[in-house]
């Protein structure tokens, strides 16, 4: 049975979103040359995903995201625990149970497992939808901040190196502008979120996906 993961409930899923990476990876349009003919030539790099989560808006959004999905996560963990309990019951008492009882227990496990997998997929879809909503708003603000910073400081290109697949092979730390972007973002977008960086939460425990059950075969008499 295909294993489902609960990684979407973790902050890592939020940070790995391709939507935001694609939005911020595009270099902002270079400002037109000034009357003196000056053309921006500076190149900078940014850890865009890190910048977003480090802003006050990003911290607040993460907390709200986790709080909204927490009830669904706990419900899935409860259902997974119920299935494991039934599996243990079948394994411990299988030899002493009547054949009809074993068949009923096996059917119950199979039914609960299918329902669990459907609920897991629904939870994943819900998390994806909430994630997209958050990223649409926050990445739009971040793009405006990056463009403003680039134009004010003479940057022709700013590259997002958050993605491990970025084509950038090497970049000096001296062209890193992540901290500057975080500061400018918070200045341009006053937030009611926490005034100090929130500690990075631990990834939630992943409920063990119930193993597929099989109908026990009747023991042949010796």
Helix or strand (DSSP H, E) at 199: none
Percent of the chain with pLDDT over 90: 43
Q: What angle do CA 52, 199, 190 make, to 5 degrees?
A: 45
Q: What pLDDT was estimated at residue 165? A: 80
Cα gap 126→131, rounded to integer Å: 8
Q: How many residues does the chain have?
A: 222
In the predicted model, what is the mean pLDDT of the chain?
76
- The reported pTM is 0.57
Q: How confident is the model at residue 192, as a pLDDT?
A: 57
What pLDDT is stored for residue 204 in this prediction? Answer: 40
Structure tokens at 86: 């039934």
CA 145 from centre of chain: 23
User: pLDDT tens-digit profile of 29-67?
Assistant: 444 544 445 788 899 999 988 898 899 999 999 899 999
**Could you give the dihedral angle defined by the CA atoms of residues 179, 184, 187 and 189, in that order, rounded to the nearest 10 degrees?**
-100
Per-residue pLDDT reduced to its tens digit, 155-188 = 999 999 988 788 888 888 899 999 999 999 999 9
Q: What is the DSSP string of 53-76?
A: HHSHHHHHHHHHHHHHHHHHHHHH
């Amino acid at each position: 049975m295909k294993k489902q993961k609960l990684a979407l409930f973790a902050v890592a899923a939020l940070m790995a979103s391709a939507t935001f990476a694609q939005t911020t990876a595009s270099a902002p349009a270079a400002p037109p040359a000034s009357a003196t003919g000056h053309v921006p030539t500076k190149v900078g790099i940014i850890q865009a995903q890190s910048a977003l989560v480090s802003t006050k808006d990003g911290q607040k959004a993460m907390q709200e995201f986790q709080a909204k999905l927490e009830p669904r996560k706990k419900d899935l963990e409860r259902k997974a625990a119920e299935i494991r309990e039934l599996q243990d019951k079948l394994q411990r008492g299988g030899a002493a149970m009547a054949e009809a009882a074993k068949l009923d227990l096996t059917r119950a496990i199979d039914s609960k497992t299918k329902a669990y997998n459907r609920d897991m997929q629904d939870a994943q879809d819900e998390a994806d939808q909430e994630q997209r909503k958050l990223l649409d708003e926050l990445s739009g603000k971040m793009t405006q901040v990056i463009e403003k910073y680039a134009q004010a400081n003479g940057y022709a290109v700013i590259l997002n190196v958050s993605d491990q697949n970025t084509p950038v092979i090497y970049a000096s730390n001296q062209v890193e502008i992540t901290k500057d972007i975080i500061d400018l973002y918070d200045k341009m977008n006053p937030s009611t979120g926490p005034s100090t960086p929130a500690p990075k939460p631990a990834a939630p425990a992943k409920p063990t996906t119930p193993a597929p059950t099989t109908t026990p075969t009747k023991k042949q008499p010796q």
